Amino acid sequence: MPIPKPSYNVIMAVHNRVFIIPDNPTEITDGGIHLPDKAQDKPVRGRVYSVGPGRILDSGQRAKMSVDVGDKVIYNQYACQTLEHAGEEYIVIEDNQILAVITCCSLNPLTEASEGYV
């Protein structure tokens, strides 16, 4: 009896790796100039698609990952690899190469600090 093929492909990160779906760079500048692909900056922002379980510490326990699936992040463009799977482009990067998590907040810290809200 033949083994049935799965009808879907799932890609998951391992160890301390994170898979990110990069934001699409803008092709037109604010002044209306069309930029060819080679002139565009590499994306450094994206949304976390998959998070590995974390690296194993010397104690045998796993380190906690600093991001979760769905987080919007800024990452080091020189410390990542690009991977294409099922027609989708992913950035594969180690957890410690993610520079920041972008959060949504209705308060502006600069305005609040000047008004004494800190």
Strand residue runs (E) in 29-113? 45-51, 72-75, 80-85, 88-94, 98-102
The residues, ordered by sequence, that sit 6+ positions from 103 with a Cβ below 8 Å of its Cβ are: 72
Q: Is 73 exposed, middle or buried (0-12, 13-18, 19+ CB in 10 A)?
A: buried
pTM attached to this predicted model? 0.67
3 state SS of 17: strand
Q: How many CA atoms lie within 13 A of 10 on its CB side?
A: 6
Query: Contact, 60 vs 46, CB < 8 A?
Result: no
Residue-wise pLDDT for 16-58, tens only, equals 899 998 887 666 656 666 665 554 556 688 999 999 998 889 9
Q: Does domain 17-114 have CATH number 3.40.430.10?
A: no
CA separation (Å) from 31 to 4, 25, 36?
Answer: 54, 16, 15
The pLDDT assigned to 101 comes to 92
| H-type alpha helices, the chain | 109-114
Q: What is the pLDDT of residues 3-14, one digit of tens each?
A: 666 556 677 888
Can you tell me the distance from the alpha carbon of 73 to that of 113, in angstroms, rounded to the nearest whole number? 25
